[in-house]
């Protein structure tokens, strides 16, 4: 039915197999069938096929498998009943967007590995998806993930550095996590028109096959030239700068708080030098967590911004461009696939919650048993401002009480009972 609504174009210069329309690039394969090389196309570098096999046939499936497992576990841990704060809502939204982006990357990898850029489909449905929905859905989910991470970072920045402000700053979080995807996909809607489908005859007197090509008429407009720049500014440049800047401010504010608390301990405990490494080890974990996530976001997202600005049909025959393209795609996908593993590496509380959730006996230890009851009454993430105020005023400090700092990818830190926070 969709073929009736979509008028695919018959392009004799691109597809016909008889008469003057045949090009010098058309050759027979081992079965005596025609291999189509559209007129005007430059034959690709033979090394490109090997590149596809390694990048899209081996590396991409590994990244997708790790990403799907990690984000599913993220969602399981983040939906525990002691994780009901504002930050957790945005973190669940980020993990869900990352999971969908990875799922939509699988058809992209299959297309690049088997069908290449132009494709050759016997059915109209897969061709339509590749030409119109593949980039729209994949990039839309990636954009939602970026916006979720940005909103989460803003909320944590205000909570830590400006605790007197009314929160949540971005409005009701449950409304925000619905509005962000709607606006993001509306902004990405023009990308639906980037491709076209052409209908071709693959064999003499045989059935039609479908190819994908760029919509050069649309891509050459002034609107698309401006739109492409705006898209990268909104979803790449601005979030990268803001996330790095806010995380740096959070780290500085947190360090000052820890230094004040450390000073109070030093003044009251003559043996503090021996205890200091244990009491403030979480501070180092926080800096590693914030630094790694900010650096990872910058390094993995920046190449994709360059790729979106430079990709064009005339560049596809260049092997060096294909190498850069594959690396940019894999790096951005990896950025959304390893969040769970960063949490497990730097957050002891996330690991404990994961262990308690699945009740893995081989990971059981006294610390986990001690935290079973405390996690239910964990301090909400939204109360970080109280920590900052208490530490600044020196009113409620107990030098004999071990504070446990809880962190998120945006640098949230809280204290109190042992919690399952990130």
Is 406 domain-assigned? no
Distance between CA atoms of residues 388 and 324, nearest Å: 45
Is 402 domain-assigned? no
Q: How far is CA 126 from CA 123, 203, 271, 323, in A?
A: 6, 20, 69, 26
Q: What is the pLDDT of residues 127-152, one digit of tens each?
A: 999 999 999 999 999 999 999 999 98
Is 297 domain-assigned? yes
- Count of domains in the chain? 1
pLDDT in tens, the chain (422 residues): 555 555 555 554 445 433 233 333 343 344 433 344 443 345 678 898 999 999 999 999 999 999 999 999 999 988 887 767 788 889 899 999 999 999 999 999 999 888 888 778 888 899 999 999 999 999 999 999 999 999 988 988 888 888 777 777 888 988 999 999 999 999 999 999 999 888 887 666 667 888 888 898 999 999 999 999 999 999 999 999 999 899 888 888 877 877 777 777 666 665 544 445 555 566 667 667 777 777 888 888 888 888 888 887 778 888 899 999 999 999 999 999 988 888 788 777 777 878 888 875 555 554 444 444 444 344 444 444 444 444 444 444 444 444 433 334 333 333 333 333 33
pLDDT at 142: 94
pLDDT at 15: 58
Is 380 domain-assigned? yes
Is 258 domain-assigned? yes
**pTM given for the model:** 0.75
Contacts for 237-242: CB closer than 8 Å, 24+ residues apart: 237/305, 239/146, 239/147, 239/149, 239/150, 239/297, 239/301, 240/297, 240/298, 240/301, 240/302, 242/150, 242/153, 242/154
Is 289 domain-assigned? yes
Q: What is the pLDDT of residues 176-231, one digit of tens each?
A: 999 999 999 999 999 999 998 888 876 666 678 888 888 989 999 999 999 999 99
Of 365, 322, 315, 331, the closest CA to residue 214 belongs to 315
pLDDT at 333: 93
CATH number for position 272: 1.20.1070.10
> β-strand 195-201 against 9-10: which pairing, if any?
parallel
CB atoms within 10 A of CB 408: 28
Contact yes or no for 102/67 (Cβ under 8 A):
yes
Residues 6+ apart with CB under 8 A from 362: none
DSSP 94-144: HHHHHHHHHHHHHHHHHIIIIITTT--BSSHHHHHIIIIIHHHHHHHHHHH
Is 417 domain-assigned? no
Is 398 domain-assigned? no
Identify the domain containing residue 14 by its residue range: 2-18+39-393
């Amino acid at each position: 039915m969709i073929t009736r609504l979509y008028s695919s174009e018959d392009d004799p210069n691109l597809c016909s197999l008889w008469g003057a329309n045949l090009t010098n690039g058309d050759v027979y394969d081992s079965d005596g069938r025609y291999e189509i090389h559209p007129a005007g196309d430059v034959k690709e570098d033979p090394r490109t096929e090997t590149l596809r096999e390694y990048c899209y046939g081996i590396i991409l499936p590994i990244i997708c498998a790790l990403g799907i497992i990690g984000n599913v576990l993220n969602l399981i841990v983040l939906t525990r009943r002691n994780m009901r704060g504002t930050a957790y809502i945005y973190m669940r939204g980020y993990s869900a967007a990352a999971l969908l982006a990875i799922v939509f990357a699988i058809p992209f990898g299959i297309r690049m590995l088997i069908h290449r850029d132009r494709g050759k489909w016997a059915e109209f449905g897969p061709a339509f998806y590749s030409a119109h929905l593949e980039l729209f859905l994949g990039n839309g989910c990636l954009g939602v993930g970026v916006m979720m991470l940005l909103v989460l970072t803003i909320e944590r920045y205000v909570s830590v550095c400006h605790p007197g402000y009314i929160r949540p700053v971005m409005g009701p979080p449950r409304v925000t996590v619905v509005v962000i995807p709607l606006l993001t996909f509306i902004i990405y809607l023009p990308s639906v028109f980037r491709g076209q489908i052409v209908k071709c005859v693959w064999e003499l007197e045989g059935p039609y096959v479908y190819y994908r090509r760029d919509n050069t008429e649309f891509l050459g407009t002034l609107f698309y030239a401006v739109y492409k720049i705006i898209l990268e500014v909104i979803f790449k440049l601005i979030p990268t700068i803001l996330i790095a800047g806010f995380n740096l401010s959070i780290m500085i504010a947190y360090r000052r708080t820890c230094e004040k608390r450390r000073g109070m301990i030093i003044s009251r405990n003559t043996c503090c030098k021996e205890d200091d490494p244990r009491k403030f080890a979480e501070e180092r974990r926080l800096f590693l967590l914030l630094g790694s996530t900010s650096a990872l976001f910058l390094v993995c997202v920046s190449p994709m911004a360059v790729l979106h600005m430079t990709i064009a049909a005339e560049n596809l025959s260049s092997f060096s461009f294909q190498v850069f393209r594959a690396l940019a795609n894999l790096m951005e996908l990896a950025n959304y696939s390893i969040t769970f593993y960063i949490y497990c590496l730097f957050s002891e509380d996330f690991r404990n919650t994961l262990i308690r959730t699945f009740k893995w006996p081989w990971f059981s230890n006294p610390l986990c048993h001690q935290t079973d009851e405390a996690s239910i009454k964990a301090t909400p993430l939204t109360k970080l401002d109280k920590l900052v105020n208490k530490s600044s005023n020196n009113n409620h400090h107990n030098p004999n009480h071990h504070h446990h700092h809880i962190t998120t990818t945006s640098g949230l830190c809280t204290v109190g009972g042992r919690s399952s926070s990130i």
